[in-house]
Amino acid sequence: MSRFVDCGRDQAFLLPPDLRDWIPEDDLAHFVIEAVERVDMGAFKVNRRGSGSAQYHPRMMLALLIYCYANGTFSSRRIERATCRDLGVRFVAANSHPDHDTIATFRRENRGAIAESSLQVLLLAKELKLVTLGVVSVDGSKFEAAASKHRSVRFDRAGELIDQLRLEIADLMERAEAADAGAGEEMQALPEEIARREALCARPDAARRRLEAQAKARAEAERAAYEAKVAARAGRRGRAKGKRPKPPEGTPRGDEQSNLSDPDSRLMRKSKRHEYRQAYNAQAVVDAGALS
């Protein structure tokens, strides 16, 4: 008969659990907690009047942010969820669960102090050889594309080309009808010319669709910032409201361009002294070596 490990989720603890039993001894959480204990908290904003609700200790909040940032969790909402779901985060937060507004406010009000404290923790980790610090240089580099810059078409010009080509196609269709009614052999080339011009019409049309899709995606990315500005303006009075925020545009500007041969490339130049070329903007990263 098979035997299984007991899985009674309704079983209560006989004794209160020890948070230190939740994570292994070599977890980063232990170092972060000990390192933050050695940080001077004098620069952190604290409600010393004692009024209002009880506040979370800044040392715990600092350890929570450093631990989460070190593990790639930056969103305040995700950090809030992690205090319930992630054992390491729950241990650092001492089984407390600050909400995302509290976390974001603490970060905004203590931005400089958090940056300086994080530096101290990193230097301590380097001294203990827990991390390797180095210099990484990042710069944009232009790589010429295998496409002619003369194949780039503006959004407004693409529309004009499409209209022009459609008129030519309609004219050719009429000429083809006339050719079918006659017996001239010289008109046999017309269907090929129609097909060629239809292909030419399709390429600017595709370029316009690409530009429209890019503009729509850009507008969606900017919408959250726009709505935040509108909400902030609504909370102000009188002249303090300022100008009404301009909503993101979901349509391309007339001067936006797309290359018919290589849509992924863009017209760009190295500097004001250089000419425009069809190219890619790649980010070059160089590791300058670890700091001793």
Burial 198-216 (b: 16+ CB within 10 A, else e): eebbebbbebbebbeeebe
**Do 231 and 133 meet the contact criterion of CB atoms below 8 Å apart?**
no
CA-nearest of 21, 16, 63, 7 to 38 is 63
H-state helical runs in 53-154: 58-70, 76-85, 87-92, 100-109, 111-127
**Is it the case that residue 187 has pLDDT exceeding 50?**
no
- The predicted model scores a pTM of 0.49
**Is it the case that residue 125 has pLDDT exceeding 50?**
yes
What is the pLDDT at residue 1? 55
Residue type at 150 in one-letter notation:
H
**Angle formed by the axes of helices 100-109 and 76-85, nearest 10°:** 130
CA-nearest of 210, 215, 180 to 194 is 180
**Do 139 and 276 meet the contact criterion of CB atoms below 8 Å apart?**
no
Residue 161: band (very low, low, confident or very high) from pLDDT cuts 50, 70, 90:
low
- The SS3 call for residue 43 is coil
d(C-alpha 166, C-alpha 62), whole Å: 64
CA-nearest of 120, 117, 103 to 68 is 103
More confident call, 14 vs 252: 14
Q: What is the mean pLDDT of residues 178-204?
A: 57
List all residues 6 or more positions away from 236 whose beta carbon is below 8 Å from its beta carbon.
242
d(C-alpha 223, C-alpha 220), whole Å: 5
Condensed to tens digits (0 to 9), the pLDDT of residues 27-47 reads 889 999 999 998 888 889 887
